[in-house]
Structure 1
Amino acid sequence: CDAALGTETRGSLMIPGFRNGVYSFKPTRGLVSRTGIIPLSSSFDAPGVLTRNPALLKEVFLSMIGVDPADDQSFELRSKESKPSRKRIILCVNRSLGEMELLQTKLRSFLAQLKLNGFEIIFIDLPEVSFDYKTISSTNIRADITKFLHRYGSDNEPRSFEGLVECYRERPHAHLYGMERLEDALAMPQIEKSELKKLVQENVVKARNLINSILDRYDADFVGFLNFVDWFSIGGGPSSTLPVSFETKPPISIMLGSRVGNDLALLDIVQEFSEVAKAAQHTDN
């Protein structure tokens, strides 16, 4: 299988991309319908793509888009043509995790090759910012899964969220990831719909303002990271991971993100980065 579909909430596409050294892409929330997917967070869900071939990201994405009247967040992609973008990338570095040292050693050839290909990389310290993701997603998943199970539960499958959690507790081998999220949702006090809606709006605006402020300040279109950040999962903009150094297993990957709606330009940059990474690997060899 060269490509797989998934649902992005808080890193459920980006983190597998990092850990498995493959390409992942989460489109702008609303460009791909959520109808028919198992709901994890109705506030933040966004179907996306995992693939071993970066060219497939755009191909699969364009086959998935379209307005869906059944999805209240759905909207149409304005243009299927990518606009030329500035080749200036803001790379947010977490110094406490040793990311600057990693850039200067294992990613040195890759960065040099980027420069040869006309890219300008600006390094900044990763801003410290927190969101109310756990509160929002815990409320979402409990309500959304409850509704889902009421419809699809059976005599052999749980019909309630509490039943689902208990089922997973009894089969720990079947859920290497995700159990903590279910337990958090079960323990989290539920909040009213009006309060939840307000909290979601505040967090989305906060995330988008953070992203846009960095891009505006440095006159750039893309921002990158060496580890997962939840800015785009919450803000709703497009993000992608791609392997850039193959010295380690899994390969070292970078996460790239952009403004809401700038999906195709981001995918073009991912394609260029992948070609640069291959050239850097060839130079090292």
Structure 2
Amino acid sequence: MSGQQQQEQAGPPYASRTAGLGGLPSVLPDVPVCAVFMLLYAAFAATNMTILQVNLRRKHKFLLSGLLFGFCMARITTLAVRIGWATHQHNVRLAIAANIFVNVGILIVYIINLIFAQRMLRAKQPRLGWHPSISIALKVLYGGIAAALVCLITSAILGSYTLDAHTLQQCRDIQLTAITYLLVFTTMPLWLLLLAHVLLPRDADQELFGHGSMRSKLIILVLSSCTSVLIAGFKAGAIWSPPRPATDPAWYHSKAAFYVFNFSLEVLVLGLLTLSRIDKRFHIPNGSKGPGDYSGRNQDTTGDKEVPSDGSSHQV
């Protein structure tokens, strides 16, 4: 114990004195558990890259499969760093990197959910979905994701290089703001779906896109979004709870809670998005810029080809 206390005083960077999600990793059980999750993420990475390459050879561009591949690779890196931390428990820099990576990779899934929700809104409510104010609002939200990421990384690093109580409190306030924003962001797809399917009357000009029914798309997106809200909500609830010393962690700091509410739920979302073939279900014509483009009504006048995009002027 005295050695750990000396390690906490050594620095900078300084080891955290408060309990964190997942606690201090150890060879058992963390290394085997991380290895299993790495295999799962590697399998989904290979699957999504294969889907992307096959689609590209067929002139069917759906770059969101590439984003899922990037998410899987980011998670493999996250788990590799955690294994490194488990085998070098007193390496504070590894601890900082591991905690940062945990909050980073999942942001890709949050963004994908919102992109799909925007497509659903544009299909069900074309006049509202294609209104410039909606596009501007979503761009602001995406910018907020980047700002939240910068805040999380900066506050985590700064907080590890100081012992000043005021600075540490400011870092905590920044983290609270960023984590809360991410939680709010994960709910946005659900609000857009609520607008598209419940709150607004049926639009006579609604369109269809991709393969499968709109109901199946709705179910997939609701499940993915709700799971994302659960992941973000767990992290927000944990950080908003009063800080506890590392020697007296709460249940949500346990390894079981860490792996269940992070990687297990993420693998479920990956399985849902990958195995349901979102590359087919959420495919839209390339260069879609307004009402009628999803269904191809404007194809003769615009000359757009039937390859997917993100619903705006650039391809995905």
Query: What TM-score, normalized to structure 1?
Result: 0.30
Query: What TM-score, normalized to structure 2?
Result: 0.28
Name the structure where helix makes up a greater proportion of residues. Answer: 2
Q: Which has the larger radius of gyration?
A: 2
